[in-house]
Copies of this chain bind each other. A is one copy, B any other.
Amino acid sequence: MINKLIENIKQTNAPIVVGLDPMLKYVPEQIMKKAYDKCGANLEGAAEAIWQFNKGIIDAVYDLIPAVKPQIAMYEQFGIPGLIVFKKTVDYCKDKDLVVIGDIKRGDIGSTSEAYATGHLGKVKIGDEEFAGFDEDFVTVNPYLGSDGVQPFIDVCAKEKKGIFVLVKTSNKSSGEFQDRKISDAGDRPLYELVGEQVDKWGKQLMGDEYSYVGAVVGATYPEQGKILRELMPKAYILVPGYGAQGGKGADLKHFFNKDGLGAIINSSRGIIAAYQNEKYSRFGASGYADAARAAVIEMRKDISENAL
A195 contacts B182, C-beta separation under 8 Å: no
CA distance A131 to B39 in the complex (A): 14
A173 contacts partner chain B, Cβ-Cβ < 8 Å: yes
Residue from B84, B133, B170, B183 in contact with A182 in the complex, judged by beta carbons closer than 8 Å: B183
**Bitwise interface map of A from 90 to 112 toward B, beta carbon under 8 Å scored 1, else 0:** 00000000000000011111111
- Given A184-B183, A188-B184, the answer on whether A148 and B172 have CB atoms closer than 8 Å is yes
CA distance A87 to B83 in the complex (A): 12
CA distance A184 to B181 in the complex (A): 8
CA distance A116 to B115 in the complex (A): 20
Q: Which stretch (A72-80, A203-211, A247-255) binds chain B?
A: A72-80
> Cβ of A21: which chain B residues have Cβ within 8 Å of it?
112
> Cβ of A118: which chain B residues have Cβ within 8 Å of it?
77
A171 contacts partner chain B, Cβ-Cβ < 8 Å: yes
- Given A87-B79, A183-B183, the answer on whether A42 and B143 have CB atoms closer than 8 Å is no
> Cβ of A133: which chain B residues have Cβ within 8 Å of it?
43, 76-80, 82
B116 contacts A76, C-beta separation under 8 Å: yes
B145 contacts A73, C-beta separation under 8 Å: no
> Cβ of A111: which chain B residues have Cβ within 8 Å of it?
23
Identify the closest chain B residue to A170 (Cβ). Answer: B145
Count of interface residues, chain A, beta-carbon cutoff 8 Å: 74
A124 contacts B78, C-beta separation under 8 Å: yes
A119 contacts partner chain B, Cβ-Cβ < 8 Å: yes
A9 contacts partner chain B, Cβ-Cβ < 8 Å: no
Contact residues of A between 175 and 192, Cβ < 8 Å to B: 175-179, 181-186, 188, 191
B146 contacts A172, C-beta separation under 8 Å: yes
Residue from B124, B132, B147 in contact with A177 in the complex, judged by beta carbons closer than 8 Å: B147
Enumerate 22 A-B pairs (CB-CB under 8 Å) in ascending A order. Answer: A23-B111, A36-B127, A41-B129, A74-B112, A76-B119, A76-B120, A76-B134, A77-B118, A78-B119, A78-B124, A80-B87, A82-B119, A109-B171, A109-B172, A110-B172, A142-B144, A145-B167, A145-B170, A146-B177, A149-B172, A178-B191, A182-B185
Instruction: Give the B-binding residues of A (Cβ under 8 A).
Output: 21, 23-24, 36, 41-43, 45-46, 71, 73-74, 76-80, 82-84, 87, 105-113, 115-116, 118-120, 124, 126-129, 131-134, 142-149, 167, 170-179, 181-186, 188, 191, 194-195, 198
